[in-house]
A and B are shown apart, each in its own frame.
Chain A
Amino acid sequence: AQSVAQPEDQVNVAEGNPLTVKCTYSVSGNPYLFWYVQYPNRGLQFLLKYITGDNLVKGSYGFEAEFNKSQTSFHLKKPSALVSDSALYFCAVRDKSGGSYIPTFGRGTSLIVHP
């Protein structure tokens, strides 16, 4: 079984400050991990993914995420937030050892960046 948790419904941060959006996961084997972003009235857009290798993954728009196997986490980070980063962020997981291709998405975290 696979699951993912985004413990915060909303994250508020001032523009220019660093931001973190949290994600923890549970899988039977090893995970593939993804972050997607949804801007208002738009579909989801891919940000970044962790497959294997370096635990720090860099993605679009200056975002990065760190895979931490011991803490089963994959938190999304950005050193300096922009107002335009305000959106809904989804973490997703797939179990490498699982036969199903069905991904599991988190409930989403609303990021609000204040000017």
Chain B
Amino acid sequence: EAQVTQNPRYLITVTGKKLTVTCSQNMNHEYMSWYRQDPGLGLRQIYYSMNVEVTDKGDVPEGYKVSRKEKRNFPLILESPSPNQTSLYFCASSLGDSSTDTQYFGPGTRLTVL
């Protein structure tokens, strides 16, 4: 089944404790991205990657890191989480660098930073 998977689905952590949220897709998509969803703000893009070893900042990259060592994986790293990073996070992928591409979203990771 074609899908985007994220782990963990739920995470409660404390300020300053490094964490990684994994994202994997099995569709051989070139383009991957991370979003955060906050009430009243909709979806905001954090980082995106157009291919292996190619990443770029989205609208709200502060406090986050990403890497793209393999085509299928695009982990989101929070080196020192803070409470304002409490949010619902989505990973998405699409076939290629085209504005018409449909994005496929993962199920989401609900992160709480205490």
Contacts and interface: CB of A to CB of B under 8 A. Distances in A.
Do these two chains really belong together in a complex?
yes
B108 interface: yes
Contacts, number: 55
Interface string A16-50: 00000000000000001010100001111110010
Interface string B92-103: 100001011011
Contacts of A94: 99
Contact of B100 (A32, A95, A108): A32
Interface string B22-56: 00000000010001000011111100101000000
Nearest to A47: B102
A43 B105 contact: yes
Nearest to B107: A43
Interface residues of A, number: 23
Contacts of A44: 43, 90, 92, 103, 105
Given A43-B108, A90-B42, A96-B99, 11 more contacts: A32-B100, A43-B90, A43-B105, A44-B90, A90-B43, A101-B97, A102-B59, A105-B35, A105-B42, A105-B44, A107-B40
A46 B35 CA distance: 16
A102 B107 contact: no
A107 B41 contact: yes
B103 A46 contact: yes
